[in-house]
Structure 1
Amino acid sequence: MNGTVATRSTEVVLPGNVEPSGLQVRTRTIPPPATGQVLLRMDATGVSFAEQQMRRGKYYDQPPFPFVPGYDVVGTVTAVGPGVDAAMIGRRFAAVTKTGAWASFLLLDAADLVAVPDGVTAAAAETVVVNGITAWQMLHRTAKVPEGATIVVLGANGGVGSTLVQLARHAGITVIGTASTRHHETVRELGAIPVDYRDPDMYQRIQELAPRGVDSVFDHVGGAGLKQSWRLLRHGGTLVSYGTAATKDESGNSQLPVLKLFAWLALWNYLPNGKAAHFYNFWAGKKRLDAFRARLREDLTQVLALLADGVLTPQVAAEFPLADTAAALALAESRTVAGKVVIVP
């Protein structure tokens, strides 16, 4: 029962800096799981903003081309290696992979798996794996936003943004969320006050809604607008930056926008202005692997429990079979959807 037979896996490969239509499909043989490993059958994966950057060669520390993308996965254990509890076979788990999840089968370390509650579908769970951990940690670990506070979430209709809005509302926090007007009704249903991100006076609109400033801004856009996000904060407020979407189409060194961002954050923290600026790095602390895994498991378990209890509503923008991953990526990049584009077997 512990899996001694090699398995054929279908994988979607990013061969280089190509359009979504340039993705390639291959089949390869996966050996049986080694000590401490499991073989996971993919039940759902998805498209995150990271893959959109990787396609352009713009993700900060992506591997060299070619490689199999896929930042997270939900799947069923079909075999285990030596030293792994055979009771895991047949059960559903979630994991953050960073790359490799756009595949029908994966070999993963058992220690990286987090159990998915019974009754939660794979697609629903997939919407809150990396998105849920990111949102939870930014809200409760990085910014430590208290009940009664007011925050701004840029991209409130996106995968991380929509989850962040729901977690914040559950914690008794007022949310102002930016999105295109076509998604304003969705943002309202999530519990946030929508503001049009295409409005040239967007930041002024936010200031009108919160004239005394806000407690936190969660900014995945970066670029020139980051300074405006900083100005929205009240005394004692916290800016959490977690991306550089504004520069994803720029040519040149992929690390330069991030280094510029770090410089601004460091400068703002140095100034005696009573405000704080942080860059959220999902992988921070991984050098202490056991502590990193324990923190990830604790946070994702809480998010999945909220999903199982109906506190969080899964935001599935669309579902595509693995063979149509190119169409899934194109849709995710179209900026026309709310929630997460999910890939299924």
Structure 2
Amino acid sequence: MNTLATQILMPGPVEPSGLQITHRELSAPAAGQAMVAVEATGISFAEQQMRRAKYYDQPPFPFVPGYDLVGTVTAIGANVDSALLGRRVAALTKVGGWASHIVLDAADLVPVPDGLDAAEAETFVVNGITAWQMLHRIAKVRSGATILVHGANGGVGSTLVQLARQAGIRVLGTASARHAEAVTALGAEAIDYRGDVVAQVRALAPGGVDAVFDHVGGRGIVDSFRLLAPHGTLVSYGSAATKDDPGNSRLPVLALVGRLIWWNLLPNKRNAHFFNIWAGKRNRARFRTEIAADLTAVFDLAAAGILRAQVAARIPLAEAARAMELAESGTVTGKVVLVP
């Protein structure tokens, strides 16, 4: 039996008001697949770049955006465990999540703990996996260390701050002055990014920091690297500073990655990495195992009340344009969530 799904279409490089509400009939899940009734899907920086045609490897227009989601399994195909029916699950999708229903490979679904609100759980999917893997798999920061998190009030940043504090790590977090109180409440020492960030960090950590997590890129990446203590690690995971630059969207990212590679070749006793959540997808089985393990670890901390979800707003799917405008306004802490 087919299911009529409501979707938000990104027809081309458009302003938020150019997003379109569409409908599509979905066939029953094939073998190995499951249909999910979406309860929450988020607006991340990826979608903000995609609508500008600036996301590094986005699909050609038109397409349905939506990097991640949380929902309930309503139907399954052959060779899928029947216990999955009726379960609340999460999925990392990259695109397609801005919909009322979606058909996915059952192997990509991660159970959500009972009692965890759908919108709150949604804020921990791509943000939680990104933060966990950068902190524990890439930088491998240990208790007692000091780190710098740029954009500590954002989706990834606020999750990263909490994960680090839970692990006994001191956190310096940049944000605007209006978000300083929220960043402090998460357990970080707030730094005004509009001021002299280098001077502020040096005052708090004269010997440098053990890791920097930078989604901004641009010229500021040089300061991030210079703020590292010996044997420290820079993890770059975006280039927000160049999102509005004209020309080929891949060039700023390639230039950034090239610079990080060059720094690793120098005898400077510091490390630099570019984090891409999809980098391990070539080994599909390992990729799925790590995503499930890391997201489950984050969910367990959230269910235990150790991590607090930062839901900036819950907005109906049909009002995706308004939600996108809010997410891009720079006035919110956490993540804007679409609720079909």
Which TM-score applies when normalising by structure 1? 0.98
How does 1:297-316 map onto structure 2 within 5 Å?
Answer: 297-316=292-311
Picking from 318, 327, 340, the partner of 1:323 is 318
Q: Note the C-alpha offset of 1:55.
A: 0.5
Q: Is structure 2 residue 335 aligned with structure 1 residue 340?
A: yes
State the number of aligned residues. 340
Q: Secondary structure at the match of 1:38?
A: strand
Q: Secondary structure at the match of 2:172?
A: strand
Q: Note the C-alpha offset of 1:263.
A: 1.0
Q: Secondary structure at the match of 2:221?
A: helix
Match of 2:262 in 1: 267
List per-residue Cα deviations over 1:166-219 (Å, max 9, x = no partner).
0000000000000011111100000000011111x1221111111100000000
Q: Secondary structure at the match of 2:280?
A: coil
Q: Is structure 2 residue 190 aligned with structure 1 residue 232?
A: no
Q: Note the C-alpha offset of 1:240.
A: 0.2
CA distance in 1, matches of 2:314, 2:154: 15
CA distance in 1, matches of 2:132, 2:267: 28
Q: Is structure 2 residue 182 aligned with structure 1 residue 169?
A: no
Q: Secondary structure at the match of 1:100?
A: coil
Which TM-score applies when normalising by structure 2? 1.00
List per-residue Cα deviations over 1:31-78 (Å, max 9, x = no partner).
000010000000000100000000100000000000000000000000
CA distance in 2, matches of 1:156, 1:49: 14
CA distance in 2, matches of 1:25, 1:251: 28
Q: Note the C-alpha offset of 1:87.
A: 1.8
Q: Note the C-alpha offset of 1:103.
A: 0.2
RMSD over equivalenced CA pairs, Å: 0.5
Match of 1:204 in 2: 199
Match of 2:133 in 1: 137
List gaps (5 residues or longer) in structure 1.
Answer: none
How does 1:112-261 map onto structure 2 within 5 Å?
Answer: 112-199=108-195, 201-261=196-256
CA distance in 2, matches of 1:166, 1:205: 21
| 4+ aligned runs moved over 3 Å, structure 1 | none
Q: Note the C-alpha offset of 1:305.
A: 0.2
Q: Is structure 2 residue 71 aligned with structure 1 residue 109?
A: no
Read off the aligned partner of 1:62 and give its amino acid letter.
Answer: Q
CA distance in 1, matches of 2:227, 2:219: 14
Q: Secondary structure at the match of 1:304?
A: helix
CA distance in 1, matches of 2:62, 2:17: 15
Q: Is structure 2 residue 25 aligned with structure 1 residue 11?
A: no
Match of 1:296 in 2: 291
Q: Is structure 2 residue 276 aligned with structure 1 residue 281?
A: yes
Picking from 24, 29, 36, the partner of 2:25 is 29
CA distance in 2, matches of 1:90, 1:266: 46
Match of 2:76 in 1: 80
Percent of aligned positions that are identical: 64
